[in-house]
């Protein structure tokens, strides 16, 4: 299921595109969801880029280990995907295009410490269990502020809104 497309309005049509495929985990414990909170107060889903020769499931398990210090995560069915297109940082390209696949996950236990990349450490990403409503409120507050919004914030907020809608639909059935 397509959960949203996010294209930088400054991009011209066409151009040279560099592609990246990413995976993101949706791991609930009751009403709470495991997300990564930043020093700005926003939240993002654990996950990241799929490396060459890596399956979606193994990439997501690796990312839970690196970003959350979690092991024994079971990757379930794909819930949906998003598409982002932003200006490329590499001079040989005009557009950085990323498709993120979101998977329902279960299990998971803390097995070690985080192994964050430079920008992740700078943002002080920390695993936190929060409700969808609390994460949505936090992301919306950061979007409305002048903090300097991370490029993933619109994408993650849209997926949280979709999850909130899924919970409402389930309650009505």
pLDDT digits (tens, 9 = 90+) for 109-156: 999 999 998 889 999 999 999 999 999 999 999 999 977 667 889 999
Q: Which residue segments constitute the domains of the chain, with CATH numbers given?
A: 2-172 (3.90.79.10)
Cα(8)–Cα(10) distance, integer angstroms = 5
Angle at the Cα of 118 from the Cα atoms of 115 and 121, rounded to 5 degrees: 65
Query: What is the structure's pLDDT at 151?
Result: 80
Q: What is the largest CA-CA distance in the chain?
A: 51
Query: What is the structure's pLDDT at 173?
Result: 37
Cα–Cα nearest to 79, from 172, 158, 171, 173: 158
As a whole number of Å, the CA-based R_g of the chain is: 16
Task: Provide the pLDDT confidence category of residue 170 given band limits of 50, 70 and 90.
Answer: low
Cα(158)–Cα(152) distance, integer angstroms = 10
User: What is the value of pTM for the model shown?
Assistant: 0.93
């Amino acid at each position: 299921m397509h959960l949203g497309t996010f294209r930088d309005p400054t991009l011209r049509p066409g151009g040279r595109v560099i592609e990246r495929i990413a995976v993101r985990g949706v791991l609930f414990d009751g009403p709470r969801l495991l997300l990564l909170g930043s020093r700005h107060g926003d939240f993002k889903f654990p996950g990241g880029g799929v490396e060459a020769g890596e399956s979606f499931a193994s990439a997501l398990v690796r990312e839970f280990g690196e970003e959350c210090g979690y092991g024994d995560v079971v990757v379930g069915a794909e819930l949906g995907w998003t598409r982002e297109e932003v200006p490329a940082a590499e001079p040989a390209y005009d557009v950085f295009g990323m498709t993120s696949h979101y998977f329902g996950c279960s299990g998971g236990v803390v097995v070690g410490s985080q192994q964050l990349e430079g920008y992740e450490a700078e943002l002080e990403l920390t695993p936190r269990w929060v409700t969808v409503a609390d994460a949505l409120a936090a992301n919306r507050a950061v979007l409305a502020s002048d903090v300097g919004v991370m490029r993933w914030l619109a994408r993650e907020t849209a997926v949280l809104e979709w999850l909130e809608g899924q919970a409402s639909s389930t309650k009505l059935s």
